Structure 1
Amino acid sequence: MIVVGVDGSASALDAVRWAAMEAGRRRMPLRLVSSYQLSAGVAGVLDPGVLDVLREQGRRWLAEARDVADEAGVRTSIVLAPVPAVLLLVRESLDASLLVLGSRGFGGFTGLLIGSTAVALAGRAHCPMVVVRGEVPAHGPVVVGVDGLRDSEDAVAFAFAEASAQDADVVAVHVWHESLADAVLLGHPTPPDFDGAQQRAYETLAERLAGWQEKYPDVHVTREVVRDHPSEALLRYAEGARLVVVGTRGRGGVRGLVLGSTSQHLLQHAPCPVAVVRTEPDRE
Structure 2
Amino acid sequence: MIIVGVDGSRAGLEAAGWAAREAALRRARLTVAHAVPRWVCDELSARYAEVARWMRDEANSVLTAARDRALRERPAIVVETTLLPGDPRTALIKAAEQAELLIVGSHGIGGVRGLLVGSVAHGVAAHARTNVVVVGERPATPSRGEIVAGFDGSPPSLRALDFALAAAGLREARLRVVQAWAWPRPGGFPPADPDTEQHTLQQLKDQLAERQERHPDIDLVPELVHGHPVEVLKEAAEGADLLVVGSRGHGQLAGMLLGSISQALLHHSPCPLAVVRA
Corresponding residue of 1:30: 30
Residue identity opposite 2:173 in structure 1: A
Corresponding residue of 2:65: 64
Residue identity opposite 2:236 in structure 1: Y
C-alpha spacing 1:17/1:119, structure 2 compared with 1 (3 Å): closer
TM-score, normalised by the number of residues in structure 1: 0.81
Determine helix, strand or coil for the equivalent of 1:80: strand
**For the aligned residues, what is the CA RMSD?**
3.0
CA–CA separation in structure 2 for the residues paired with 1:115 and 1:5 = 13
CA–CA separation in structure 2 for the residues paired with 1:34 and 1:151 = 30
TM-score, normalised by the number of residues in structure 2: 0.83
Corresponding residue of 1:231: 230
Q: CA deviation at 1:114?
A: 3.9
**2:14 paired with 1:11:** no
Q: 2:143 aligns with which of 138, 142, 149?
A: 138
Q: CA deviation at 1:116?
A: 6.5
Identity of aligned residues (%): 38
Residue pair 2:182, 2:192 contacting (<8 A) in 1 also: no
Q: CA deviation at 1:202?
A: 1.9
Corresponding residue of 2:90: 87
Determine helix, strand or coil for the equivalent of 1:271: coil
Matches within 5 A, 1:145-224: 145-178=150-183, 181=186, 194-224=193-223
Corresponding residue of 1:127: 130
Q: CA deviation at 1:95?
A: 1.4
**2:99 paired with 1:96:** yes
Residue identity opposite 1:54 in structure 2: M
Corresponding residue of 1:55: 56
Corresponding residue of 2:42: none
Residue identity opposite 1:153 in structure 2: L
Q: CA deviation at 1:257?
A: 11
Q: CA deviation at 1:22?
A: 1.1
Determine helix, strand or coil for the equivalent of 2:148: strand
Q: CA deviation at 1:270?
A: 2.1
Q: CA deviation at 1:204?
A: 3.8
Determine helix, strand or coil for the equivalent of 1:61: helix
Q: CA deviation at 1:266?
A: 1.9
Residue identity opposite 1:85 in structure 2: P
Structure 2, unaligned runs of 5 or more: 40-46
Corresponding residue of 2:245: 246
Residue identity opposite 1:57 in structure 2: E
Residue identity opposite 1:62 in structure 2: L
Q: Deviations over 1:89-144 (max 9, x none)?
A: 1112211111111122125xx47974765454223212211111244233331000
Residue identity opposite 1:167 in structure 2: E
C-alpha spacing 1:178/1:83, structure 2 compared with 1 (3 Å): closer
Q: Deviations over 1:188-241 (max 9, x none)?
A: xxx999445424432442343232111211111111111211111001101121
